[in-house]
Chains A and B, each alone.
Chain A
């Protein structure tokens, strides 16, 4: 089955130590998104790539960076994680930005839960 896969499922990192979360997709979707979700809150969009075109949300801290070396992979780099960065990080894909949901539309990975100690 075509999927969005995030690794690892759980990541524990030290305060201030750079960490990278990864996402891969077999859907051949053009768009890849990174969301941050904290408990009882809606997912917050950090940035997205449309092909190689990077789009940062205005309120995404500089501490968060992303790379998309090819269609299939996208990485979230947190340069100096703080305690407030502990959250679930969700990767999602969509075929395009035309607003198509449902089957073949948005697909979320299972997330990486980041703990900062």
Chain B
């Protein structure tokens, strides 16, 4: 059975800390992996990863994919309270079929 597993399920850190969120997957016919940030609204797209070993960066956020070991990490450096959200990982299986992980709930304390 296809699955996408995120860890940890939740995390509490202080402002300024660096966090690493994990997403591992077992999906046949992998095409891409996506990261989303969700606050109390529709999820916001962060990154789309298709190739192993190529880091994508956007400000304090970065992500990388390892297609051999079947995982991705999302790093957030110098965290701020505005980073508090649920971070979702989704894997595109085949064409236009998505399997979401359960999410990691991040809380950043001032």
Residues of A within 8 A of B (CB): 31, 33, 37, 41-45, 48, 55, 57, 88, 90, 92, 97-103, 105-106, 108, 110-111
Q: Is the CB of A55 within 8 A of B42?
A: yes
In angstroms, Cα B89 to Cα A97, docked, is: 16
Residues of B within 8 A of A101 (CB): 6, 86, 88-90, 100-103
- Given contact pairs A110-B96, A110-B97, A102 touches B45 in the complex (Cβ within 8 A): no
We find that the number of chain B residues with CB closer than 8 angstroms to chain A is: 25
In angstroms, Cα B40 to Cα A44, docked, is: 18
Q: Is the CB of B101 within 8 A of A102?
A: yes
Q: Does B19 contact A (CB under 8 A)?
A: no
Residues of A within 8 A of B96 (CB): 37, 88, 90, 108, 110-111
Min CB gap A86→B, angstroms: 14
Contact of A99 among B48, B86, B98 (CB under 8 A): B86
Residues of B within 8 A of A57 (CB): 42
Q: Does B109 contact A (CB under 8 A)?
A: no
- Given contact pairs A33-B42, A99-B38, A108 touches B97 in the complex (Cβ within 8 A): yes
